[in-house]
Structure 1
């Protein structure tokens, strides 16, 4: 996704599709890393101890740099890819969909499975709360306590999000700067004597999923 904003999920959506006795229950939700996804995925598994399949897809990062889809035992390409296709169709990132299947006793065939998983994912996304958010660049600020008032004035002026705060004789503040305001914010920070700052390079959450 290009530009200064991205679309994601702020409210979990749920949708259900049925075909020849099989039930497909979709859950759409926001994720910011693989570990977050793993926790949500496991909570859904725990909710459905008698389900036969838990297929999923996620897209993480502003440009969907980290993505994965899984058929979870269904025939190759019949579940994960159709779910991923819906995330792409809705142009969502930092988002995931898990579709739970209860087998109804009748084989649906490849076309039937593709349609079922795609439909359940689509319904879940249609019921989710989707918003557009500004893309942020994370900066870590370090300053002594005498500059606190000035720093928080700049935080308010540029509508920065506070991601992490550590107060002391020398305080550290990690802030999210909207890309649209990055040049102006950098100039303002550079003008504050005694303030040092650097870009936070996010570590890829590589925990296996």
Structure 2
């Protein structure tokens, strides 16, 4: 399994109104829990008067890291319905947040579950879901004279050059899709005076 489904780009400001309360949906691609914390802090700064910032996320190719947070709503009435929409859409590496401004009328647990679910669903459906290939990073060290050969090989497999340094020898850091890892590894192994290692 070399790919996963995720959003092509962020989705913001999907608004749902229910009995005077306003629910605003957001969805972002995320790669780490640190990035999730930053997103949540930024959103809280942008909506300081909101009553709740409920969210759920999935990280990892099989969504092995996940969390659902009710942010003060009754247990299981907000975070879980949002998380279930991530599962229903089969997406990962995504954070969905639903910001609520309380309108004065209580919705009850079943009303909250329904509204948070509908807002998360509308938010994900407003985005474009794409299959993204998993990538890994590669460090290659080689003599200056082999520069063209190494660059040609990396280009053939669509590798992206992240860093290139040359002094006594050359050093490249590149990212490439996991599908091409074995082919590049086999061909680099056959080259003399070339050393390489994969980072992940």
TM-score, normalised via structure 2 length: 0.91
Aligned partner of 1:103 in structure 2 is: 102
- Alignment partner of 1:11: what SS? coil
- Which protein has the larger Cα radius of gyration, Structure 1 or Structure 2? 2
How much has 1:111 moved relative to structure 2?
0.8
| Runs of 4+ in structure 1 over 6 Å off | none
For 1:73 and 1:172, locate their aligned partners in 2 and report how far apart those are by CA, in whole Å: 51
Aligned partner of 2:149 in structure 1 is: 150
Q: Is the contact made by 1:10 and 1:29 (CA closer than 8 Å) also made in structure 2?
A: no
Q: Which residues of structure 2 form unaligned runs of 5+?
A: none
Q: Which residues of structure 1 form unaligned runs of 5+?
A: 202-209
Measured on the aligned residues, the alpha-carbon RMSD in Å equals 1.7
Q: Is the contact made by 2:54 and 2:99 (CA closer than 8 Å) also made in structure 1?
A: yes
For 2:171 and 2:36, locate their aligned partners in 1 and report how far apart those are by CA, in whole Å: 29
TM-score, normalised via structure 1 length: 0.87
Q: Is the contact made by 2:154 and 2:184 (CA closer than 8 Å) also made in structure 1?
A: no
**Cα distance, 1:35–1:172 mapped onto 2, change above 3 Å:** farther
Aligned partner of 2:165 in structure 1 is: 167
How much has 1:40 moved relative to structure 2?
1.7
How much has 1:124 moved relative to structure 2?
0.9
How much has 1:108 moved relative to structure 2?
0.9
**2:60 pairs with 1:61:** yes
For 1:171 and 1:55, locate their aligned partners in 2 and report how far apart those are by CA, in whole Å: 49
**Cα distance, 1:173–1:62 mapped onto 2, change above 3 Å:** farther
Aligned partner of 2:22 in structure 1 is: 23
For 1:144 and 1:46, locate their aligned partners in 2 and report how far apart those are by CA, in whole Å: 51
- Alignment partner of 2:166: what SS? coil
- Alignment partner of 1:133: what SS? strand
Aligned partner of 1:122 in structure 2 is: 121
**Cα distance, 1:172–1:85 mapped onto 2, change above 3 Å:** farther
For 2:101 and 2:45, locate their aligned partners in 1 and report how far apart those are by CA, in whole Å: 14
Of 6, 21, 24 in structure 1, the residue corresponding to residue 4 of structure 2 is 6
Greater Cα offset, 4-13 or 171-180: 171-180
State the number of aligned residues: 198
For 2:5 and 2:95, locate their aligned partners in 1 and report how far apart those are by CA, in whole Å: 12
